[in-house]
A and B are shown apart, each in its own frame.
Chain A
Amino acid sequence: MQSNQAVDALPFEQKIVDLEKKIRELKELSDGEHLDLGPEIEKLSQKLARLREDTYQNISAWEVTQIARHPQRPYTLDYIRNLFTDFVEMHGGRQFYDDNAIVGGMARFNGEPVVVIGHEKGRGTDEKIFRNFGMPHPEGYRKALRLMQFANKFQRPLVLFIDTPGAYPGKEAEERGQGEAIARNIFDMSFLKVPVLVIVIGEGGSGGAVALGVGDRVLMLEHSIYSVISPEGCASILWKDVSKSKDAANALKITSRHLQDLGIIDGIIPEPLGGAHYDHEKTYKAVREAISKNLAELKLIAPDLLVEQRFEKYAKMGVFVDEGHGA
C-alpha cells in the first residue's frame, strides 16, 4: 500500500488483513521488549505474500465486482487530473439541464489536444448525490454526444472513461426519453470520423455504459466489469433471489478476461496486486501507457476507414448456429 490513505479492505480480503495485523503486532512487540522476533516475522511475511497471490489469482467474478466498485478506486476525474493537462470542463447538452453524472471537456494528453468524457461517481455523500452516483439521465448522454460531435467537428481524438452502475431508472429519465438518448449515442458514435478510445475503469453497467462505449478500441482495467445487467439485477430476475448475486456474477461472464475471450474488448490494462485502489500511481502509469499506444495507432488510420472498421467490428459480435443457406 503506497498511498497515504489506508485502503478499506473487502470482505474476501479479511485473512490478509488479519495476517497483516499479526505481523504489525509482532513488530511492535519485537521493538518494545528487546525480543528478536525477526525469523517469525519473516516467516509470516512470506506467508502473507503467498496468501496475497493466492487470493488475487483465484478471484471470483463477484469479488472482482466488489473491487470494480471500490470507493477508493480512481474515478474519471482522477484520471483527468492525473493523466491530462489543460483540462477545460464543458457543461450541458444545451437541453434542460447539466447532468453531472457525466463530465467532459477539452484537454491535452502528452501535449496533444483531445476531448475526454466519462461517468463520474463522486466521492463523499454530497458529491455522490451531486453526481447521482454516476447514473446519467438522458441529458447526460446528450451532453456526452454534444462533446463527441465537438471532437468530430474539430478533429480531436476522443478518450472515454466508463464507470457507471447504469442509466438512472427514474421517472423523469423515462419522460425525457432515456432509451432514445442511449440509442442516439450508439448511432452517432458509429459515424465519428475521429479515433474513439474507450476504457472501462470500474463498472460498465449495461445501456448506461454502451451509450459511451462504441469505440475503435475498447479496453478494460483488469478488475473492472462490463455487463448486460448487474449481478444483483440478474439474480433477482432469473434466480428470484438477490442473495444469488455471486452465482449471477459468475454466470454472466463480466470480467475483463471473459470479455477478451469473447472478443468484445481489445485489451486489458493490468492493475496493481489487489486492484487499482492499492496503488493509484502505478494504475495511472499503466493507463497512460495504454492511451499513448492506442491513440498513436489509431491516428494512423484514415477517418473513413475508422468508421468502416467500427461497423465491421460490431457486425461480427454474436455467437449463433446457422445451418441454413440464408435468404
Chain B
Amino acid sequence: MGWFTSKKKDIPDVFVKCTGCGEAVYNKELQKNLYVCPHCDRHLRMPNDVRIEFLCDENSFQEFNASIMASDPLGFSDSATYGERIQKAQEKTRSKEAIITGFASIEGHRLVIGMFDFSFMGGSMGSVVGEKIARAAQASLDHNLPLVIFSASGGARMHEGILSLMQMVKTSQAVAKLSKRHLPFISVLCDPTTGGVSASFAMLGDIIMAEPKALIGFAGPRVIEQTIRETLPEGFQTSEFLLEKGVIDMIVSRPEMRSTMARILSFFKQKDGAYYAVQPSR
C-alpha cells in the first residue's frame, strides 16, 4: 500500500491512477518523474510537450506542418460523424492531429522528430498522419538529418477506410527513401504500438527501440484470444517479450532516453559533422 489511500476512483488533475499497478500517484510527482510510475516503473502515456522538454535541447523544437487537418473523404459516420469525432478530439487534446513533427536537437545533434499523440483518436493513422510522416522524411532528406519517430498508435484510422490502409505504404516508402540515401531512421515504440503502424514504418527502423512494458504487436491481444480460444500468457506482446524474440533492438527507459539517443545519433555522423549526404560507394 502506498502513502495515499483513496476511496474515490478518479480525482482528475491532482492524482492519476497508474494503469500498471493501480496505485494513485500525485500528478506533480508523476510529471517530475517523466510519467513513470514510482511504484511499478510503468511508463505511462505522456503529453508530447513534456516529452519534448525532457528529450530535446531547450527551445530547439520547431514544429512544421502543424496546420494539416483531416477531411472526411468517405463521409463516414457511425454513432457520430467523422467530422464530429475529429472536432471532439481536437478540443480534448488541443492538438490538430495524432502526430506532431518538426526539427529539434538532442545534445546538439540536429534531427527531424515525430511524436504520436495517443489521446487523439487512439493515435490512429489516417491521411494526415501519413502525410506528416512523409513530409518529415522529406525534411530529413532535404536537410540531411536523421529521422526519429515515437509511435503510440492503435493502428489505421478506420474512418478513412482504404485511404488509411494506403498510409502504410506511403509511410514505409517515406522511410525507404531515407534508407536509400543512407540516412538513419530510428523508431521508438511506445505504449501501445499496434495494427497498421506496427506493420509499416515503425518496424522499419535502422534501430528499433521500445519503452519498457509497452504493448507492441500487429493483432490486438483480444483478437488473438478470440481466434485461438485461449488466454495469452502474462507479458505477451510487451517490449520485453519482443526483445527476447529478436523483433526490437533495445528497451530504453525515459531517464536514459536522451543520453542513449545522443549516443546513437553521434554514431551516424561523419568526421565533418554531417550525416551521409550521398550514397557511399560500396
- Listed in ascending order, the chain A residues whose CB lies under 8 Å from chain B are 167-171, 173-180, 182-184, 186-187, 190-191, 206-207, 210-211, 213-214, 226-229, 233-234, 237-239, 247-248, 251-254, 258-259, 262, 264, 311, 314-315, 317-324, 326-327
CA A287 – CA B201 in complex, angstroms? Answer: 33
B66 within 8 A of A: yes
- What are the residues of chain A within 8 A of B165 when measuring CB–CB? 206-207, 210, 227-228
- What are the residues of chain B within 8 A of A317 when measuring CB–CB? 127, 130, 163, 166-167, 169-170
- What are the residues of chain B within 8 A of A239 when measuring CB–CB? 78-79
Contact A178 B199 (CB under 8 A): yes
Contact B65 A228 (CB under 8 A): no
Contact A234 B158 (CB under 8 A): yes
Q: Which of B158, B203, B204 contacts A229 (CB 8 A)?
A: B158
B107 within 8 A of A: no
- What are the residues of chain A within 8 A of B139 when measuring CB–CB? 327
The 7 A-B pairs at the shortest CB distance, nearest first, are namely: A324-B67, A169-B219, A318-B127, A327-B64, A179-B198, A319-B73, A182-B199
Residue of chain B at shortest CB distance from A229: B158
CA A319 – CA B232 in complex, angstroms? Answer: 38
Q: Which of B163, B179, B202, B228 contacts A319 (CB 8 A)?
A: B163
Offer 14 A-B interface pairs, CB within 8 angstroms, sorted by A: A171-B224, A177-B246, A207-B199, A211-B199, A259-B162, A262-B163, A264-B163, A314-B173, A317-B166, A320-B68, A322-B65, A324-B68, A327-B65, A327-B139
CA A222 – CA B141 in complex, angstroms? Answer: 40
Q: Which of A174, A184, A186 contacts B217 (CB 8 A)?
A: A174
Residue of chain A at shortest CB distance from B227: A169
CB under 8 Å from chain A, chain B span 222-265: 223-224, 227-228, 232, 236-237, 245-247
Contact B176 A180 (CB under 8 A): no
CA A234 – CA B195 in complex, angstroms? Answer: 13
CA A206 – CA B66 in complex, angstroms? Answer: 29
Contact A318 B167 (CB under 8 A): yes
Min CB gap B220→A, angstroms: 8
CA A252 – CA B135 in complex, angstroms? Answer: 27
Residue of chain A at shortest CB distance from B136: A327
Contact A319 B224 (CB under 8 A): no
- Listed in ascending order, the chain B residues whose CB lies under 8 Å from chain A are 64-71, 73-74, 76-79, 126-128, 130-131, 134-135, 139, 156, 158, 160-170, 172-177, 179, 195-196, 198-204, 217-220, 223-224, 227-228, 232, 236-237, 245-247
Contact B247 A177 (CB under 8 A): yes
Known contacts A207-B168, A262-B162; is-contact A174 B218 (Cβ 8 Å)? yes
Min CB gap A118→B, angstroms: 19
Known contacts A187-B176, A238-B78; is-contact A314 B169 (Cβ 8 Å)? yes
Known contacts A183-B204, A320-B127, A324-B65; is-contact A253 B74 (Cβ 8 Å)? yes
CA A135 – CA B130 in complex, angstroms? Answer: 26
Min CB gap A21→B, angstroms: 39
Known contacts A180-B247, A323-B69; is-contact A186 B172 (Cβ 8 Å)? yes
- What are the residues of chain A within 8 A of B66 when measuring CB–CB? 324
- What are the residues of chain B within 8 A of A233 when measuring CB–CB? 223
Min CB gap A273→B, angstroms: 26
Contact B162 A227 (CB under 8 A): yes
Min CB gap B121→A, angstroms: 11
CA A170 – CA B166 in complex, angstroms? Answer: 24
Contact B224 A264 (CB under 8 A): no
Residue of chain A at shortest CB distance from B230: A171
CA A234 – CA B223 in complex, angstroms? Answer: 12
- What are the residues of chain B within 8 A of A319 when measuring CB–CB? 71, 73, 127, 160, 163
Contact A169 B173 (CB under 8 A): no
Chain A CB count within 10 A is highest, among B77, B131, B199, B236, for B199
Contact A210 B227 (CB under 8 A): no
Residue of chain A at shortest CB distance from B232: A171
- What are the residues of chain A within 8 A of B219 when measuring CB–CB? 167, 169-170, 173-174, 178
Contact B204 A176 (CB under 8 A): no
Min CB gap A58→B, angstroms: 19
- What are the residues of chain A within 8 A of B126 when measuring CB–CB? 318
Residue of chain B at shortest CB distance from A251: B76
Contact B236 A171 (CB under 8 A): yes
Contact A180 B203 (CB under 8 A): yes
Q: Which of A184, A207, A264 contacts B218 (CB 8 A)?
A: A207
CA A248 – CA B73 in complex, angstroms? Answer: 15
CA A251 – CA B85 in complex, angstroms? Answer: 15
CA A182 – CA B173 in complex, angstroms? Answer: 13
Min CB gap A68→B, angstroms: 14
- What are the residues of chain A within 8 A of B161 when measuring CB–CB? 227-228, 251-254, 262
Contact A320 B245 (CB under 8 A): no
Residue of chain B at shortest CB distance from A316: B170
Q: Which of A170, A314, A327 contacts B228 (CB 8 A)?
A: A170
